[in-house]
Amino acid sequence: MTLQLHDTLSRSVRPVRVPGAGGRVTIYSCGPTVYRYAHIGNLRTFLLPDLIRRVLLYRGIEVRHVQNITDVGHLRDERFDRGEDRMLVAAGLEHKTPAEIADAYEAAFHADAAAMNLLPAHAFPRATEHIPEMLALAERLEDLGHAYRTPAGNVYYAVASYPGYGRLSGNSLDALRAGHRGEVEIDKRDPADFALWKSAGPGRILKWPSRWGDGFPGWHLECSAMAMRHLGERFDIHTGGEDNVFPHHEDEIAQSGPLVGGSPADLWVHGAHLLMAGRKMAKSAGNFQRITELADAGVEPLAFRYLCLTARYSRRLDCSDASLAAAAAALTTLRARLRALGPAPVEGPWAAPPVLAAGCAPDRPTGLAPGIRGHADPDGREQPGPVDRATRPASPLSPVGRELHDRFVASIEDDLDLPAAIATVHAMLRAGLPDDERRWLVLDADAVLGLDLHRAWEPQPPARVPMPRVEALLAERAGARAARDWAEADRLRERLRELGVEPVDRPDGTSGWRAVEPS
């Protein structure tokens, strides 16, 4: 068996295509629009590709993951939205340029993702850096007769020109036309058509020259162009939230289809919304929380990750004080039971299995990162390539241990049944097995769960501080000390103290740390 996922396009659970020797599974994920902070509902959506990656790596399969950064703040969907450019609104409210707004909120996104233990993508393409690719794609569609220019300087995709339009979302063109809300742009030929390129109005800051005049790209065009640029015409998995199904992903398929001969992705996988008090969490509704706000309230970010693992990704999950408290208690119990087994031996068959450390991306990652962790923490450490832990566990498991291991593997590969996987991990701790075997089983499973269970025997920083950020600062300080840059080392020590972490310099030149009251 291999990983199977629910494909929205075919409405069935299908296996991920296993690449040949030396190949990799390619994943494109819709990322954040960086005009505001990401909220925990966004992070639940971004957890989906993280779990897919971890399961594939657990089976020894290489992965290349691309997650875009939308830093052009145009309307999300010109069909229904007549609001102003969100990037420009944020820039005006905060008295910053759009670029400053984008950089600040992108850095916050990477820090929040690290707090959730999300593996950084291998590439984080930004929309503003891929305008030539977007223009080339729009021009090809116009040349092929799938798009048309209007006297107003706008370029629209003619949805009637693509026979498969509506298949992903289950919409028909007649239903879309009948259900259209609001005033239709007067220069559209069909109310269902969508913008590839919009003419820039007077005074617009974010605009680029094109053969149709100065303008800016449509939201849907961005992802098609960036996916094609970084993963090729065809890739394996496209992920996003359920609100991306229509119109965003439907329009992506329509844009790319005429050029690549069909859907650009083999599987379209969508996560359900996170609810707060029964309502969808959304910036526009004002009912959202950041992961940092949970930490400030005393809820560890990994407790929120644990909560997300208690529901299938395709089902809506309600986040409340009670559900977060239950998740935090369950995670504390899991760590306590593991800690009671004692630390793993340093060597031998029951030495701790390799840790899949998420790390923290830089504030503004560039280029294509190598290795299994993508843009991991800035110290540049890399881990070996993936090995097949699913079918070839490294330790000599007993028949009972192997049955528990195989049950865990069956759960994670069954459309990411993480609730069953979590239940199996608790069963591992209760099993009548030697301590060494129980410990090894749980630590090995954590390569997928991403709960940092290997830290059960270590002191922990305050809940509000992401552990990867602490490690990154400690590594920077170690580098400064090695370079005898004592002023920088002292500055980093003070920064760590502000976070509640006191570096401890050892005689052999290495450094540890202990938790203290934040200064």
Task: Decide if 359 is inside a domain.
Answer: no
Q: Is the domain of 223 the same as that of 288?
A: no
Task: Decide if 365 is inside a domain.
Answer: no
Q: Is the domain of 428 the same as that of 476?
A: no
Instruction: Quote the pTM value.
Output: 0.86
Task: Decide if 342 is inside a domain.
Answer: yes
Q: Is the domain of 183 the same as that of 304?
A: no
Task: Decide if 172 is inside a domain.
Answer: yes
Banded pLDDT at 140 (limits 50, 70, 90): very high
Cis peptide before 378 (omega within 30 of 0): no
Strands (E), 115-234: 147-149, 155-157, 194-199, 215-217
Q: Is the domain of 74 the same as that of 132?
A: yes
Q: Is the domain of 240 the same as that of 346?
A: no
> Higher-confidence residue: 219 or 340?
340
User: Is pLDDT at 187 greater than 80 in this prediction?
Assistant: yes
Q: Is the domain of 101 the same as that of 200?
A: yes
DSSP 468-488: HHHHHHHHHHHHHHHTT-HHH
Choice among 82-91, 231-240, 405-414 with the minimum mean pLDDT: 82-91
Q: Is the domain of 221 the same as that of 338?
A: no
User: Is pLDDT at 509 greater than 70 in this prediction?
Assistant: no
CATH code of the domain in which 191 resides? 3.40.50.620
Among 352, 355, 356, smallest CA distance to 441 is for: 352
Banded pLDDT at 357 (limits 50, 70, 90): confident
User: Is pLDDT at 17 greater than 80 in this prediction?
Assistant: yes
> What is the rounded distance in angstroms from the CA atom of residue 294 to the CA atom of residue 325?
11
> Higher-confidence residue: 112 or 297?
112
pLDDT at residue number 181: 53
Task: Decide if 401 is inside a domain.
Answer: yes
Cis peptide before 466 (omega within 30 of 0): no
Banded pLDDT at 403 (limits 50, 70, 90): very high
Q: Last residue of a domain, which of 411, 435, 457? A: 457
Which residue range is the domain that position 453 belongs to? Answer: 279-353+389-457
Task: Decide if 476 is inside a domain.
Answer: yes
Report the pLDDT averaged over residues 126-135.
Answer: 96
The number of angstroms, rounded, from the C-alpha of 175 to the middle of its chain's C-alpha atoms is 33
User: Is pLDDT at 77 greater than 50 in this prediction?
Assistant: no
pLDDT at residue number 470: 75
Q: Is the domain of 450 the same as that of 508?
A: no
Report the pLDDT averaged over residues 356-370.
Answer: 91
Q: Is the domain of 426 the same as that of 481?
A: no
> Higher-confidence residue: 294 or 420?
420
Q: Is the domain of 87 the same as that of 65?
A: yes
Banded pLDDT at 221 (limits 50, 70, 90): very high
Report the pLDDT averaged over residues 387-399.
Answer: 96
Helix residue spans in 340-466 (DSSP H):
399-413, 418-430, 435-449
In the chain, how many domains are there?
A: 3
pLDDT at residue number 485: 82
Task: Decide if 451 is inside a domain.
Answer: yes
Q: Is the domain of 65 the same as that of 163?
A: yes
Q: Last residue of a domain, which of 409, 436, 457? A: 457
Mean pLDDT, the chain, rounded, equals: 88
At 309, is the secondary structure helix, strand, or coil?
helix
> 241: buried, middle or exposed (CB in 10 Å: 19+, 13-18, 0-12)?
buried
User: Is pLDDT at 42 greater than 60 in this prediction?
Assistant: yes
Task: Decide if 369 is inside a domain.
Answer: no
> Higher-confidence residue: 465 or 379?
465
The phi and psi torsions of 25 (rounded to 5 degrees) equal -85, 135
Q: Last residue of a domain, which of 242, 271, 300? A: 271
Q: Is the domain of 210 the same as that of 90?
A: yes
